[in-house]
Amino acid sequence: MVDGGAVVPGQRAGAAGARLPRVRGLADVPAAGAVSPKAEGKALRERVARSAHAEFAEDAARPDAVAALEESSRGRIDDLVPIRNGRMAATPFAFLRGSAGLMAYDLARTPVTGIGAQICGDAHAGNFGLYGDARGGLVIDLNDFDETVHGPWEWDVKRLTASLVLAGREAGAGEDVCREAAYDAVGAYRRTMRVLAKLPALDAWNAIADEELVSHTDARDLLGTLERVSEKARRNTGARFAAKSTRVLEDGTRRFVDAPPVLRRVPDAEAAAVGGALEEYLGTVPEDRLPLLARYALHDVAFRVVGTGSVGTRSYVALLLDHRGEALVLQVKEARPSALLPQLPVAGFKSPSVVHEGRRVVRGQKQMQVVSDVLLGWTTIGQRPFQVRQFRNRKGSVDPAALAADQLDDYGRMTGALLARAHAHSADPRLIAAYCGKNDELDEAVARFSVTYADRTEADHARLVRAVREGWVAAELGV
């Protein structure tokens, strides 16, 4: 396995003599008489009525659900694909979680305003949660960015609201409750964008997603749930994971212990390749973090299976120990091209040329979050791009499919507000706020879309379940 050795910071190439680039925006202040963002946003309603966002008509060429699933599995580790299929077959909400590409196909054929933002690309209700900041506090925000791209803000909103309907149905909530959660999420998005549009630019940019958001969105019924999740999150650390998942050998070294199929040892050559890739990673983290990382030595590497949509991708955990034997665990996770990329041109957005997929994920995450993991970076193993981050950085999440009926709409409001704040970092909140307006026309339209799309997802899920039952698709259930 990997020998214990210092993670030594390397000098950044090209740092000497670097020139500060021109700051976009400062020289782009609109001239007198130019159309204001508010006027431009209102004018967009003439081109794309807010009521039009209720529309969803299936394209005749829409991929079959099973075919789409099989296509999205290309390039994944064959032995793990049945685990992914089994997880997606569990419920319609789980199916939605793993089918960002299929939903992107559908969304690309719905109305969009043309306003672009850095979007999560997979903003379903299970991708919000708590995580730790550098000072030990907890922040509430979006926390998964594998699919992040510059694209239509509406796509994130509709994925969130459709997922709320599906989560509510799974929890046994009535149809009115599920629809209200979607409606309230859009309303919170719209109202939060209006608040941000009225704030000084710096205040809006630095708006923190923390416990005060619960009061802002009138999500008081969630307080007890969030307190329980927070307590659990504070204990969910890399050090705690290392204590449970490693053992000390006779020579005093620590090694991961196999726990198949989720955690497994890897051959020495594979572990060495991951360890060697950390040198490139060091060149991607902020320079002020390099002295911190230099105080750790790499001791072991293992393969660990990750969540629903990412199952089958290559993902490692690297065990680092300081001089006291305290653990820092890094996750080195394969970064595949965003599932949204093929659909962006259909919606009138340019499909960007991505130099490194790990860099795309990290930059998108930093752009959408106010507070991000201080050790985010990227690297390459073989020819494959990877993102690197702290593993279990006091992360905690609410399971939207386990919420009580009186909590679902609260959760919808909270996540809708979080999504607005994230979008406002890359899109002018004045523009989106002006389009969304003061009344609930958009809320009603997107809620209608969400119910319709939830029905479509249930049909897609049923198709997968039948394929598994009849043996067309290999699935490992309950893993």
**Residues whose CB falls within 8 Å of the CB of residue 213, separated by 6 or more in sequence, listed in order:** 140, 219, 414, 417, 418
Distance of CA 404 to the CA centre of its chain: 24
**122-136, 227-241, 342-356, 440-454: which range is least confident on average?**
227-241
For residue 216, the model assigns a pLDDT of 60
Average pLDDT over residues 50-74: 95
For residue 28, the model assigns a pLDDT of 44
For residue 15, the model assigns a pLDDT of 39
Average pLDDT over residues 30-37: 68
For residue 218, the model assigns a pLDDT of 65
Per the prediction, the chain carries an average pLDDT of: 89
Instruction: Using the predicted structure, report yes or no on whether residue 131 has a pLDDT greater than 90.
Output: no
Check residues 4 and 56 and name the one with the higher pLDDT: 56
**Residues whose CB falls within 8 Å of the CB of residue 6, separated by 6 or more in sequence, listed in order:** 294, 296, 297
Average pLDDT over residues 114-129: 96
The Cα 186–Cα 426 span in angstroms is: 19
Confidence of residue 87 (pLDDT cuts 50, 70, 90): very high
Q: How many CB atoms lie within 10 A of CB 70?
A: 16
For residue 17, the model assigns a pLDDT of 41
Kindly report, residue by residue over 290-300, the tens digit of the pLDDT. Answer: 999 999 999 99
Confidence of residue 12 (pLDDT cuts 50, 70, 90): very low
For residue 207, the model assigns a pLDDT of 78
Q: How many CB atoms lie within 10 A of CB 458?
A: 18
Instruction: Using the predicted structure, report yes or no on whether residue 421 has a pLDDT greater than 60.
Output: yes
**3-state SS string for 430-450:** HHHHHHHCCCCHHHHHHHHHH
CB 317 within 8 A of CB 246: no
pTM: 0.90
Kindly report, residue by residue over 435-451, the tens digit of the pLDDT. Answer: 999 999 999 999 999 99
Check residues 93 and 396 and name the one with the higher pLDDT: 93
Check residues 34 and 392 and name the one with the higher pLDDT: 392
Average pLDDT over residues 368-374: 91
Confidence of residue 33 (pLDDT cuts 50, 70, 90): low
The Cα 219–Cα 221 span in angstroms is: 6
For residue 213, the model assigns a pLDDT of 54
**Residues whose CB falls within 8 Å of the CB of residue 224, separated by 6 or more in sequence, listed in order:** none
Average pLDDT over residues 404-418: 92
Alpha helices in 348-394 (DSSP H): 357-368
**Residues whose CB falls within 8 Å of the CB of residue 286, separated by 6 or more in sequence, listed in order:** 374
* DSSP assigned state of 479: -
Confidence of residue 208 (pLDDT cuts 50, 70, 90): low
**SS3 of the chain: helix, strand, coil, percent, to 5:** 50, 15, 40
Based on its alpha-carbon atoms, the radius of gyration of the chain, rounded to whole angstroms, reads 23
Most confidently modeled of 175-184, 209-218, 220-229?
175-184
Kindly report, residue by residue over 136-161, the tens digit of the pLDDT. Answer: 777 888 999 999 999 999 999 999 99
**Residues whose CB falls within 8 Å of the CB of residue 276, separated by 6 or more in sequence, listed in order:** none
Instruction: Using the predicted structure, report yes or no on whether residue 19 has a pLDDT greater than 80.
Output: no
Q: Is 17 helix (H, G, I), strand (E, B) or coil?
A: coil
Q: Which DSSP string do the residues of 137-157 spell out, in sequence order?
A: -EEEEE---TT-EEEEHHHHH
**Residues whose CB falls within 8 Å of the CB of residue 273, separated by 6 or more in sequence, listed in order:** 381, 382
Kindly report, residue by residue over 317-344, the tens digit of the pLDDT. Answer: 999 999 999 999 999 999 999 999 999 9
For residue 217, the model assigns a pLDDT of 64
Q: Which DSSP string do the residues of 256-275 spell out, in sequence order?
A: E--BTTTEEE--HHHHHHHH
Q: Which DSSP string do the residues of 312-336 spell out, in sequence order?
A: TS-EEEEEEE-TT--EEEEEEEE-P
Confidence of residue 16 (pLDDT cuts 50, 70, 90): very low
Segment (H or E) for 255: strand 254-256
Average pLDDT over residues 16-34: 45
Query: Which residues sit opposite 331 in a β-bridge?
Result: 317, 389
